[in-house]
Chain A
C-alpha cells in the first residue's frame, strides 16, 4: 500500500465524542488530519420559522430547546431582546433582575460542568465525569424547584419572572456556592497536574487572538486567546454593572488554557451568585405593565378580569412598534444574540438567533488541520459545542 495515500473517514453523526449529531468528514494522512469538513443540520427544527408564527409570549418555550444545557441563558437573551423591542427595560423590577442574574450564573456553572465532564471523559478521565454530574444534579434540582422542569425551564417572562422563588431556595443556592469552590479544587486536583491531561491539552487546538476574532470565536474560547471581552462587563444587561467580578483571560490560546479559564469562570460565577443573594430583597417580580406582563396566577384563577386579561395576552399578544433590535448576552458558550424585527404585529416578523456554538464550530477545521486524529476529539470538547443551538 502506498504510504502517501489519503484516507477519508466519517466521524459521527453517531459518535459519542461529537456531543450530539455532528458529522465530520476527515481526510487523514496516517494519523494526521489534512482536512476536516463539518456537516451540521441533523437537529434542525426550524425554530426561527416557528417563532414567526407565534406571539412573543408563546415563542419563549422554543428558546429552551436551543442550548439545552443552558436553557435559562437562552430564555434570558430572548426576554431581554423582546423587552428592548418594546422599550420597557427600565420597568423591570429589581428583584426580577437579581433573580435573572443569579439563575444565569447558576446556568453558567451547570453548562461548564457538563463541558468539563464530557471533555474529560472524551480524553479518558472518567472520575471527573461522575463528580461533575453529581454537582450538576444539584442545579437541576434547583431548576425543578423553581420552574417544575429540569431541562426546559421556561421560567423567565417578558417583563420579569413567571413565579417567585420557592421557600428555602436561597438556602439551597447558598449551600451550593459554599461547597462549589471545594469541588472545583477536586477537579483541578484530578486534572491540572495530571501528566496525561497535560499531554492531551497543552498546545492542542491552538488559535491566535487575531484568528479567533477573524473567525468570530466568543466566550471563554476567545478569552483564553488573550482577548479581554465579556459582554457582562462591556455591554451590561440585567444589572450586571452592579456586580463585582473579574473577566478571566489567558494567553496560551490552547485547550489547557481554555480549561483553566472556564474553571476560574465558575469561581467568579459563585462570587456573583453570592452578591445576588446579598442584593435579593422582597418586591414585585413582574413589570407593572398590563399590556405586556401576564397577570399573577391567583388573579387568573380567582377573578374574571384576571382570566380575560390572561386570555387576551396569550391569544392576541402584544404588539411592539415596528423596528429592529439586536440583543447579545454572554451565554456560557459565548455571545448569544437575538436579532428581532417587528412589523407592528403580535408575532416576531423575523427572529434570528446568533448561537455561540454555530460560530465557534466554524473554527474547528483551522484548529485541527495538521493535528493528530486524537486531538480532534479534544478540540471538539474544548470548543464546548451544543448541536441544539447550532442546528436550531
Chain B
C-alpha cells in the first residue's frame, strides 16, 4: 500500500521525488525541499496521510547538504506510516513550514529551529521553545559540545 503511494507520488511529482529507501519494512522518501508543502498537501488530501506524528531535524555534519528535516506521517484510515525527508543546506538554512498542512507541526518546527537552527518560512510563531529565548547556539548540532558552550570537558565518567 505504501508502495502504491510512493508510485503515485513519483507520478504526480516526478521532479520532486529524489530518492526512495526501504529499511526494516519502512519507506523513506526524500523530496526536494522547495516542493515540501505541495508534496505534504498532496499526501494529506489525496493519499490519506491526515496525521503528522512527528517532525524533527537530523544533522549529518560533514556531508552536503548538512541537515535533513524528517516528517513521520500516519494514515489513520489504513494505519500506515510513511516518512518524508527533505535536505536543507547550512548556507540557506530554511524550509517552508507545513504548519498550514497539519497544525501539529507548529511546536515541532519551533523545536527544530531551537535545536538545529533550521528556519521555517511562513511559520506563525517561530521562537525558541525548550531553550531560553536568549540562548546562543543550537544544542543538537553535532559540532555543539555535549557539556555546553565555554565549559571544561567533563573529566570524570560520562555515565
- Bitwise, A332-347 to B at CB < 8 A (1) or not (0) is 0001010101000000
Cα(A67)–Cα(B146), bound, Å = 23
User: Which B residues, 134 to 158, have Cβ-Cβ distances below 8 Å to chain A?
Assistant: 139-140, 144, 146, 158
In the assembled complex, which residues on chain A have CB atoms less than 8 Å from the CB atom of B53? Answer: 216, 326, 328, 335, 337, 354
Q: A8-16, A47-55, A190-198: which one contacts chain B?
A: A47-55
Closest to A48 in B: B140
Comparing A38-46, A272-280, A369-377, the segment that makes contact with chain B is A38-46
By size class, the interface of chain B is 35 or more
Given known A44-B130, A46-B139, A216-B103, contact A326–B54 (CB-CB < 8 A) = yes
**How close is B84's CB to chain A, nearest CB, in angstroms?**
12
Query: Across the interface, do A326 and B129 meet the contact criterion of CB distance under 8 Å?
Result: no
* Whole-angstrom CA separation of A235 from B78 in the bound complex: 10
Q: How far is the CA of A48 from the CA of B138 in the complex (A)?
A: 13
Inter-chain contact A339/B107, CB cutoff 8 Å: no
B33 surroundings in chain A (CB, below 8 A): none
Using an 8 Å CB-CB cutoff, how does the interface string of B53-70 with A read, 1 for contact, 0 for none? 110101100000000001
Q: Inter-chain contact count A-B, CB under 8 Å?
A: 91
Cβ contacts under 8 Å, B50 to chain A = 213
**A183 at interface (Cβ–Cβ under 8 A)?**
no
Asked if A391 meets B72 with Cβ closer than 8 Å, knowing A49-B140, A213-B51, the reply is no
Interface 1/0 per residue, A71-100 and B, CB below 8 Å: 000000000000011010000000000000
With A326-B54, A339-B70, A362-B107 as contacts: A214 and B102 at CB distance below 8 Å: yes
Query: B158–A362 contact, CB under 8 A?
Result: no
**Residues of chain B with a CB closer than 8 A to A352's CB:** 54, 56, 70
Cβ < 8 Å to A, chain B residues 44-93:
50-54, 56, 58-59, 70, 72, 74, 76, 79, 81, 83
Instruction: Let me know if B56 and A339 touch, CB within 8 A.
Output: yes
Residues in chain A within 8 A of chain B (CB atoms): 40-41, 44, 46, 48-50, 53-54, 58, 84-85, 87, 213-216, 227, 229, 234-235, 323-326, 328, 335, 337, 339, 341, 349-350, 352, 354, 358-359, 362, 391-392
